[in-house]
């Protein structure tokens, strides 16, 4: 700034840098207190399930294919893994959904048979079928970005709703409503 220009500058222009700085600090503070969600919702909600055919992941439960999901009845597709710590927290809620008559099918991501068997032994087995996805292929094909995630699939095999993260006790009525909606 030249010396000649200083007296000419109006009052508000003098305070402008400070005001801008204040606004910047405010913006940073706001985003620190209210961090943006890091969830990546699937854009595949509303689309039919892609073709897939996964081998059985656990003893006594058949594997999972697209044809199994297209049975005229809405189902819950749970993407999970035995190595995923939060996945154990939703087993009671999955059992509750299964007890309410919902068919819960699982896709186990990158899981060893022995680990999965121990996980089901420990947390219960609400699944009618469990497919084993060792290279996350089906997970990528339906736009799922992590474990656990659950998808409401209608009777025609169309993805109707995605639930990201652990199913908490509060989420059970919401999912039951979504399943009912998908059955209409």
Partner 1 sequence: MKRLLLILAMAFAVPVLADDSMPPAPYAYRQLENAAQEEKAQALMVTIRCLTCQSQSIADSDASMAGDMRNQIRQRIAAGEDPEAIRSWLIARYGEYITYTPRVTSITWPLFAAPLLLFAMAALLLRKRFRRNGE
Closest contact distance (angstroms) between CB of 110 and partner 1 is 4
Which residues contact partner 1 (rule: CB under 8 A)?
38, 40-44, 81, 83-85, 109-112, 115, 134-137, 139-143, 145-146
Closest contact distance (angstroms) between CB of 109 and partner 1 is 7
The smaller minimum CB distance to partner 1, of residues 111 and 154, is found at 111
Q: Where in 24-174 does DSSP place strands (E)? A: 53-54, 64-65, 75-80, 103-109, 127-133, 149-153, 159-164
Closest contact distance (angstroms) between CB of 125 and partner 1 is 20
The smaller minimum CB distance to partner 1, of residues 47 and 180, is found at 47
What span, in angstroms and rounded, lies between the C-alpha atoms of 159 and 148? 16
DSSP-H helix ranges across 34-90: 66-69
The smaller minimum CB distance to partner 1, of residues 16 and 40, is found at 40
The smaller minimum CB distance to partner 1, of residues 85 and 177, is found at 85
What span, in angstroms and rounded, lies between the C-alpha atoms of 52 and 160? 18
Closest contact distance (angstroms) between CB of 111 and partner 1 is 7
> From the CB of residue 1, how many other CB atoms can be counted at a distance below 10 Å?
6
Q: Check if the beta carbon of residue 48 is closer than 8 Å to that of residue 153.
A: no
């Amino acid at each position: 700034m030249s010396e000649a220009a200083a007296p000419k500058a109006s009052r508000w222009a003098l305070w402008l840098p400070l005001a801008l700085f204040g606004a910047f600090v405010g913006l940073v503070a706001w985003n620190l207190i209210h961090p943006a969600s890091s969830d990546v919702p699937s854009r595949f909600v509303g689309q039919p399930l892609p073709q897939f055919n996964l081998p059985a992941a656990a003893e006594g439960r058949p594997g999972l294919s697209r044809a199994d999901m297209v049975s005229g009845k809405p189902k819950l597709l749970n993407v999970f893994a035995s190595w995923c710590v939060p996945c154990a927290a939703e087993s009671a809620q999955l059992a509750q959904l299964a007890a309410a008559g919902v068919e819960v099918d699982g896709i186990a991501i990158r899981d060893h048979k022995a680990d999965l068997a121990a996980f089901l032994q420990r947390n219960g087995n609400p699944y009618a079928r469990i497919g084993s996805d060792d290279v996350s292929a089906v997970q990528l094909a339906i736009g799922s970005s992590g474990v656990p995630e659950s998808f409401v699939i209608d009777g025609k095999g169309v993805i109707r709703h995605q639930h990201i993260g652990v199913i908490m006790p509060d989420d059970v009525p919401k999912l039951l409503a979504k399943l009912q909606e998908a059955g209409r």
